[in-house]
């Protein structure tokens, strides 16, 4: 006897025979299937699809409604698991690989569901998309491998110098001086790398917290230009400004200093020979734009989309010789995304590069 609502006994009693109406079951299942957040479909005892949600249509790129399951999912493991469940088996798990249009991997949960006595057994099939999790896992593994490799290189040369100082160069004061200087530069490289890694992880931890300070990007850019003037001089390069009186954004000042400093430093490091680095800014009331432009060798188009990846460098040798870690633009990208902003890179070989940051303007 079903449990009845005390205030509406008659209606429930009248509704009782309807529960054996197969159409009612179909509607109920369809509405559950539609409400679920994963791709889900239901099949009857013959394997015909009696309900499928929008997400299934997105994944399979067909509407499987009314068709046999095998027309929609051509995976023997899934079909066998479903057949076993329809034959009275317990809920089971299998997996399913889609190759087109993009490779995707799903866990597939198949559970028996009870329809009316007339309809017999049915099964609910839930596809759990693992593609993103697997991508993240791969990225994490790559990151650990890259970071270890980057740290191991200076460490190996430090160990080599220590061996030499303990052995062959033990009593050679000239060689000792030279090796100690080389060791210092390797130790500094390791420190820069660790500082950048910590910086990146701190920014990632705060990624979801919107910054709340009030920052004048024009004033900040002039300040960074002044701080970098020594390095500019050493590169025989002049930093020029084309900035309005103020460019107000909501942000974290220290992080935005890091962004502009990274861009100006890169312009001087990789394009200092271009004689000028220009910092220009403006606001259209909605967005604030700040561009750091150089007149150096430029960047080939195939590299541009990858520059903000961790450890991606056009030339590892050149980056290393200039004290680079390959993390600067990854840090820039993360800081800007925390500020709901973005980085735009325009570059042409032999004609220099322009790195523009876009951040929503502060509402006055």
Contact pick of 197, 325, 335, 359 for ligand ADP (by CB under 6 A) = 325
Contact pick of 211, 251, 272, 324 for ligand ADP (by CB under 6 A) = 324
Nearer to ligand ADP, 96 or 270 (CB): 270
User: Contact at 8 Å (CB) between 150 and 325?
Assistant: yes
Shortest Cβ 159–ligand ADP spacing (Å): 24
Nearer to ligand ADP, 132 or 275 (CB): 275
Shortest Cβ 277–ligand ADP spacing (Å): 9
Cross-strand bridge partners of residue 241: 279
270 CB neighbour count, 10 Å cutoff: 21
Total interface residues for ligand ADP by CB under 6 A:
21
User: Contact at 8 Å (CB) between 96 and 127?
Assistant: yes
Give the SS3 label for residue 167.
Answer: coil
Closest CA to 278 of 237, 244, 314, 319: 237
Counting every residue written for the chain, the total comes to 364
Which window, 73-81, 100-108, 219-227, 294-302, contacts ligand ADP (CB under 6 A)?
A: 294-302
Which window, 227-235, 248-256, 264-272, 282-290, contacts ligand ADP (CB under 6 A)?
A: 264-272
Residue 274 DSSP symbol: G
Shortest Cβ 221–ligand ADP spacing (Å): 16
Q: Which pair of tokens denotes residue 252?
A: 């974290």
Q: Which pair of tokens denotes residue 299?
A: 């960047």
Cross-strand bridge partners of residue 106: 96, 129
Shortest Cβ 353–ligand ADP spacing (Å): 4
Contact pick of 328, 334, 335, 341 for ligand ADP (by CB under 6 A) = 328
Query: Which residues, numbered 266-285, are part of the site for ligand ADP (CB under 6 A)?
Result: 266-267, 270-271
Shortest Cβ 133–ligand ADP spacing (Å): 27
Shortest Cβ 190–ligand ADP spacing (Å): 14
User: Does 329 help bind ligand ADP (rule: CB under 6 A)?
Assistant: yes
Give one word for 298, left, alpha or beta, with left for phi > 0 and alpha for psi -120 to 50.
Answer: left
Query: Which residues, numbered 126-155, are part of the site for ligand ADP (CB under 6 A)?
Result: none
Q: What totals of helices (H) and strands (E) does the chain contain, helices first?
A: 12, 12
User: Does 295 help bind ligand ADP (rule: CB under 6 A)?
Assistant: no
Reported as type and span, the H/E element at residue 354 is strand 352-360
74 CB neighbour count, 10 Å cutoff: 11
| Residues at the contact surface with ligand ADP, assessed by CB under 6 A | 262, 266-267, 270-271, 294, 296, 299, 307, 313-315, 319, 324-330, 353
């Amino acid at each position: 006897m079903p449990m009845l609502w005390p205030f509406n006994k008659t209606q429930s009693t009248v509704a009782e025979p309807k529960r054996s109406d197969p159409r009612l079951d179909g509607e109920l299942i369809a509405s559950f299937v539609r409400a679920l957040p994963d791709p889900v479909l239901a099949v009857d005892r013959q394997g015909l699809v009696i309900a499928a949600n929008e997400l299934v249509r997105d994944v399979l790129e067909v509407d499987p409604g009314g068709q046999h399951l095998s027309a929609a999912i051509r995976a023997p493991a899934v079909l066998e698991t479903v057949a076993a469940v329809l034959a009275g088996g317990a809920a089971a798990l299998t997996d399913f690989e889609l190759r087109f249009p993009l490779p995707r991997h799903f866990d597939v949960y198949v559970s028996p569901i009870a329809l009316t006595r007339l309809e017999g057994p049915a099964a609910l099939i839930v596809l759990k998309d693992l593609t993103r999790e697997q991508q993240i896992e791969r990225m994490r593994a790559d990151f650990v491998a890259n970071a270890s490799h980057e740290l191991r290189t200076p460490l190996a040369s430090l160990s080599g110098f220590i061996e030499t100082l303990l052995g062959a160069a033990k009593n050679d004061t000239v060689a000792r001086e030279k090796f100690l200087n080389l060791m210092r530069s390797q130790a500094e490289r390791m420190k820069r790398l660790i500082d950048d890694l910590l910086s990146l992880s701190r920014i990632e931890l705060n990624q979801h917290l919107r910054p709340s300070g009030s920052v004048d990007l024009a004033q900040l850019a002039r300040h960074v230009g002044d701080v970098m003037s020594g390095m500019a001089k050493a590169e025989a390069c002049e930093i020029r400004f084309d900035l309005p009186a103020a460019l107000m954004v909501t942000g974290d000042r220290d992080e935005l200093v890091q962004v502009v400093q990274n861009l100006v430093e890169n312009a001087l490091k990789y394009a200092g020979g271009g004689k000028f680095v220009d910092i220009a800014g403006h606001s259209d009331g909605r967005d604030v734009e700040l561009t750091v432009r150089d007149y150096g060798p430029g960047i080939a188009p195939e590299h541009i989309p990858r520059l903000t990846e961790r450890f991606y460098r056009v030339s590892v040798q050149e980056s290393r010789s200039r004290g680079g870690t390959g993390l600067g633009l990854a840090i820039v990208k993360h800081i800007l995304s925390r500020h709901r902003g973005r980085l735009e890179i325009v570059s042409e070989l032999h004609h220099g590069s322009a790195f523009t940051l876009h951040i929503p303007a502060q509402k006055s």
